[in-house]
Structure 1
Amino acid sequence: MTKLKNRTARAIGAGLLALAAPAALVAPAVPAAAAENRLDSAVKALRAIGTMKASFRQIDRSGQQVSGTMTLKRPGKIRFQYQDSVPLLIVSDGSRLTMLDYEVNQKQVWPIKNSPLGALLQPDGDISRFGTLMPTSHKDVTSIRIKDPKHPEYGTMTMIFEKNASAPGGMELAGWVSVDAQNKTTKILLDNHRYGMTVSNGTFMFKDVRARTKR
């Protein structure tokens, strides 16, 4: 069971950093004035976050799930600490996003701008620049698809916000969706949000994977 979870976590972790946009996310246009207002509100809400911690669940398209804790420190830093049975870590130090798989001693590194998470992490990131407001079935829910048309290889991230008066900027990031080049969907769901705590920069350091011995 643990090995299954670890394989699932690896696939989901890759999905978190995945490229390409799903055709299913294409939807009718929202009136320009309303779209601009809601995009502006989402931008302000993200910029109002200094530090945040939240529980997360990652769900792949087959329904497999792993969970853990996300720690965010703007600008640019994030850490996904997985449940104890999953030897995987995803962390950004402000410029690079690193995925470490301690079970197989593998590490992958990307500039944060080349990941869908760049919309959330880049110091100068502005989701209104490449964001498209997507229709939702609830007036208190805002869905924004972010994709740079000049760099489709950077990927697509659809961010979901919920109206919450107690959250910075009055909107809370509820999660996001990414889809890889093989149309494998990964959902990230956030819960138990906490804001404004002290977070050391050491939180975004990590134990490197062991170097493989050459034979």
Structure 2
Amino acid sequence: MTSRLTFGSLAGAAVSAALVVSAPAPAVAQDAADLASAVTALRAISTLRADFVQSDTRGQQVRGVLTLKRPGKIRFQYEKGVPMLIVSDGSALTFIDYEVRQVQRWPIKNSPLGALLDPSRDVGKYGRVMPTGSDRIVSVEVRDAKRPEYGVITLVFTRKAGAPGGLELSSWAALDSQKRRTIVTLSNQQYDLAVPDNTFRYNDPRGPVRR
């Protein structure tokens, strides 16, 4: 039960912020270059597999493996003992709680993960570079000042020559309208793997039909 409640709070915060945002203030030349590099890095990812740690403001954590396939597909496979799954088939993000047999769905465009999954989302137009104090780190914040209920998401990249676009997505943080923060940190990133589309299916706990 503890795992379910912990993950439930994390997932709720993770899917509550949207990336429909307003144009930022004009950036200095380096910020503009860094933002362009971040957009290039996101668009250059075809497939990605990585370990992740997801944590909330109380320091509670769950771990698992993330698999991404553009456009639109992602799977958060949580560690053993956490009866949860988050998966996108390219059109909607689905949260499955196998313990209580619940399934919830959100359009990709209404999820903070739209920055990774929605090919129509122009992070270059809507994001702004935030100071990090390190030349190796690029941080891009996305928010809609007119829609505070969408929350805020911040994508963090590390400069790495072997990563797509020269930047490796290393973490992101989502802050919802209730000020609940969720942080997802990636490690052991692998790119351009062969990932079959059935990776993004799930067993529906409400019945025998496989979705």
Matches within 5 A, 1:138-157: 138-149=134-145, 151-157=147-153
Provide the TM-score with structure 2 as the length reference. 0.90
Per-residue Cα deviation, 1:92-129 (whole angstroms, up to 9, x for no partner): 11110110111111111110001111111102222111
Is the 2:17–2:176 Cα contact (8 Å) retained in structure 1?
yes
Q: What 5-or-longer segments of structure 1 have no aligned partner?
A: 22-28
Is the 1:113–1:154 Cα contact (8 Å) retained in structure 2?
no
> Identity percentage over the alignment?
49
Bigger drift between 123-132 and 137-146 goes to 123-132
Match for residue 4 of structure 2?
Answer: 6
Which residue among 85, 89, 108 is the counterpart of 1:89?
85
* Matched letter for residue 37 of structure 1: A
Provide the TM-score with structure 1 as the length reference. 0.88
Q: Give 1:20 deviation, angstroms.
A: 7.7
Quickly say closer, same or farther: Cα 1:20–1:79, change in 2 above 3 A.
Answer: closer
Match for residue 210 of structure 1?
Answer: 206
Q: Give 1:72 deviation, angstroms.
A: 0.3
Does residue 71 (structure 1) correspond to residue 63 (structure 2)? The answer is no
Is the 2:18–2:111 Cα contact (8 Å) retained in structure 1?
no
Is the 2:143–2:153 Cα contact (8 Å) retained in structure 1?
yes
Does residue 15 (structure 1) correspond to residue 13 (structure 2)? The answer is yes
Per-residue Cα deviation, 1:15-45 (whole angstroms, up to 9, x for no partner): 2112389xxxxxxx78422211101000111
Is the 1:96–1:112 Cα contact (8 Å) retained in structure 2?
yes
Matches within 5 A, 1:189-204: 189-204=185-200
Structure 2 residue matching 1:113: 3-state secondary structure: helix
State the distance in 1 between where 2:18 and 2:36 align. Answer: 25
Q: Give 1:74 deviation, angstroms.
A: 0.6
Is the 1:70–1:81 Cα contact (8 Å) retained in structure 2?
yes
Q: Give 1:157 deviation, angstroms.
A: 1.2
Is the 2:149–2:177 Cα contact (8 Å) retained in structure 1?
no
Structure 2 residue matching 1:132: 3-state secondary structure: strand
Structure 1 residue matching 2:119: 3-state secondary structure: coil
Matches within 5 A, 1:38-187: 38-149=34-145, 151-187=147-183
Structure 2 residue matching 1:198: 3-state secondary structure: coil
Per-residue Cα deviation, 1:30-84 (whole angstroms, up to 9, x for no partner): 8422211101000111111110000000010000000000000011110000001
Match for residue 25 of structure 1?
Answer: none
* Matched letter for residue 18 of structure 1: S
Quickly say closer, same or farther: Cα 1:30–1:164, change in 2 above 3 A.
Answer: farther
The 4+ residue runs of structure 1 with deviation greater than 2 A are: 18-21, 29-32, 147-156
Quickly say closer, same or farther: Cα 1:151–1:183, change in 2 above 3 A.
Answer: closer
Is the 1:76–1:93 Cα contact (8 Å) retained in structure 2?
yes
Structure 2 residue matching 1:207: 3-state secondary structure: coil
State the distance in 1 between where 2:72 and 2:147 align. Answer: 20
Is the 1:97–1:110 Cα contact (8 Å) retained in structure 2?
yes
| C-alpha RMSD of matched pairs (Å) | 1.8
* Matched letter for residue 105 of structure 1: R
